[in-house]
Amino acid sequence: MRLKIEESNEFQEIEITIRCPEVDERLSHLIRQINQMMYSFTVTKDDAVYSIQSSDVLYIETVDNASFLYTQDNVYESELRLYEFENQLKDTRFLRISKHMIVNTSKIESVRALLNGRFEAILENGEMVIVNRHYAKIFRKHFLG
């Protein structure tokens, strides 16, 4: 694999082109990371509006029909529904782990199997989230390979 970067003031935007004989697992992983970096969300906190990168989000949770995005240091609110986040973040490292939560699997430090088919995931900030058994098979395939 070679990396070629062309830098010029003539370019209006960043363009990434991948040329390959076939997309293997290593390349798929790279593509997911690039896709994830391209998303940003407009969110609110304390009546102020912010734009945050999806790569900064640890997880997204709905509570009482409100969506919250958790980063290392802050919690933001969004008007989007969880299924809308799920659609936007398709083919990224974000994965639905329960009826009310989507987690950024690149922010998971460790995973432990629990009884009754669930998983416990510890995130970078030390917070623990539970992977519901309904989503465990998909989680295992996506995160554990």
Say how many C-beta atoms besides its own lie within 10 A of residue 138's C-beta.
Answer: 13
Residue 67 lies in a domain: yes
Per-residue pLDDT 10s for the chain (145 aa) are: 788 888 889 988 888 888 889 998 888 878 877 776 777 889 999 999 999 998 899 999 999 989 999 999 999 999 999 999 998 888 788 999 999 999 999 999 999 999 888 999 999 999 999 999 999 988 888 776 6
Residue 31 lies in a domain: yes
Q: Which residues contact 20 (CB under 8 A, 6 or more apart)?
A: 27
CA distance 96 to 69: 14
Residue 80 lies in a domain: yes
CATH number, domain containing residue 83: 2.40.50.1020
Structural domains counted in the chain: 1
Whether residue 69 contacts residue 41, with contact meaning beta carbons closer than 8 Å, is answered with yes
Residue 79 lies in a domain: yes
CA distance 100 to 62: 5
Residue 115 lies in a domain: yes
pLDDT at res. 96: 95
Tokens linked to 16: 């990434």
Tell me the residue range of the domain where 31 lies.
25-144
Reading across the β-sheet that carries 48-53, which strands appear in turn? 48-53, 40-45, 75-78, 66-71, 57-63, 101-104, 94-98
CA distance 79 to 42: 9
pLDDT at res. 144: 67
CA distance 93 to 84: 16
Residue 3 lies in a domain: no
DSSP-based three-state secondary structure for 2: coil
Q: Which of 68, 94, 90 is nearest to 81 (CA)?
A: 68
Residue 1 lies in a domain: no
Residue 4 lies in a domain: no
pLDDT at res. 36: 66
Angle at 43 between CA 41 and CA 49, to 5 degrees: 120
pLDDT at res. 29: 77
